[in-house]
Amino acid sequence: MRKSRLALAGGIAAALAVGGTGFLIGRGTSPRNVEPVVAGPVAAAPAAAREPVVPPTPGNAVLARADIMTLAAQMADAVASGRAMPSAVADAAGQRFELRLPFGCRGPAEAESDAAMRWRYDETDKALRVHVAPVVWTRADILDAAGQATAGEAVEGFWIARPWTASEACPATRDNPAPDGTEAVTLPGQTLAIAQFFDGDGARLGQRNGKPYETVVRLQPDALQAERGFQLRIAGRIADIPGQGPVSCRQPAGAEQRPICVVGVTMDEVAIDNPRTGKTLATWNVTTAGAADR
């Protein structure tokens, strides 16, 4: 027993000696005066520049067909429900617009045709002839048969065919729709128009008195490319109808009739475009002499 205790004590002493020696050796060989590495701040990558988003406002927006349809729909709903003119409709006066009306979608018109908007190609003369006549109304015709018409007052404009679609192109199918007329008929009939009102005491600048927009373009048959018809492009501003606001709607056949609406405008420019080629055939500055500029 005495020998075992001595052996155990000797083993412990030897282990302590070896451990102490290792500690001293490691301390002596470890690097001295080494400055700690401190990571500097990482520079953040510059954020990509973003274009400012400018929301459409009355000052910078150009209304298109869909916007005009929306104004008419809001006013029609107000009239049908007996409410006052919505503020969005009232605030539309003065806003710029550009409207495209497709025509000639079913091909060239016959030589004896009297359609208001038509075209035909003369193979003998190698000439494309386009004819677009504005509709002429009286105030009582377009607004209210029971309303008071001003002496000498005239109204000119265009019906917007198929006012249930925002598409400015010819319809995909070429069926036999009702012919384009110059008078609104009810159940069914034309229900949306743009019109410029010429006061009897005001300026008549831009009034056509029914005179059509006509142009003749010389071109070869292979350059015609009229598969998509043509477009009447009208640019100007939304204008207040005298005593009505920018949009006026009525239901002459009663509450079950879809309202017939007219949007007041001031036309600045009228043009005829070929949507197939993207070319403009003729342009009229309505605010000046009204002569075609090609």
Give the pairing of strands 247-250 and 230-238. Answer: unpaired
The ranges assigned to domains in the chain are 59-98, 99-171+180-229+263-294
Scan for tokens 């128009």, then name that residue. 193
Instruction: Tell me the helices (H) and strands (E) count for the chain, helix number first.
Output: 4, 13
DSSP-derived letter for residue 52 is P
How far apart CA 248 and CA 262 sit, in angstroms, is: 5
- pLDDT per residue of the chain (294 residues) written in tens, 0 to 9: 445 454 544 555 554 454 544 444 445 444 444 444 444 444 444 444 443 433 444 456 899 999 999 999 999 999 999 999 999 999 999 999 999 999 999 999 998 999 999 999 999 999 999 999 999 998 888 876 444 445 457 899 999 999 999 999 999 875 555 555 555 544 467 899 999 998 765 556 678 888 999 999 999 999 999 999 999 999 999 999 988 899 999 998 888 888 999 999 999 999 999 999 999 999 999 876 545 555
Q: Letter for the amino acid at 194?
A: I
Determine the distance from the C-alpha atom of residue 165 to the mean position of all C-alpha atoms in its chain, rounded to a whole number: 13
How far apart CA 183 and CA 159 sit, in angstroms, is: 9
Q: Letter for the amino acid at 228?
A: R
pTM equals: 0.72
Residue 240 phi/psi, 5-degree rounding, is -70, 130
How far apart CA 94 and CA 107 sit, in angstroms, is: 36
Neighbours of 128 (CB within 10 A): 22
